[in-house]
C-alpha cells in the first residue's frame, strides 16, 4: 500500500504496486496544479483518486 499524503489512505498507485504505469487511475484524470502544490511536501507519494475528486468538487 502506498499512502496518500493528504488523507493517509491507500492511493492505489500502480507504480507502487509494481504494475505498469499506464494502468494507473491517475493516467485518466487531470490533477489540478494547485492540488499538487498543496501536497508538494511529499513528492514521492501520489495523491489518491478520492482526494482529487473531493478537491475538484469543492472547486478549490
Rounded Cα distance, 8 and 29, in Å: 20
Q: What is the pLDDT of residues 6-52, one digit of tens each?
A: 899 998 888 888 999 999 998 988 888 888 887 776 566 788 999 99
- Segment 49-60 mean pLDDT: 85
pTM for this predicted structure: 0.74
CA dihedral 4, 9, 12, 17 (to 10 degrees): 80
Domain count, the chain: 1
Task: Give the model's pLDDT for residue 22.
Answer: 92
Amino acid at each position: 500500500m502506498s499512502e496518500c499524503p493528504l488523507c493517509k489512505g491507500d492511493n492505489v498507485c500502480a507504480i507502487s504496486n509494481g504494475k505498469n504505469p499506464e494502468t494507473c487511475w491517475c493516467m485518466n484524470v487531470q490533477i489540478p496544479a494547485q492540488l499538487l502544490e498543496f501536497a508538494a511536501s511529499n513528492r514521492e507519494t501520489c495523491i489518491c483518486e478520492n482526494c482529487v475528486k473531493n478537491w475538484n468538487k469543492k472547486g478549490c
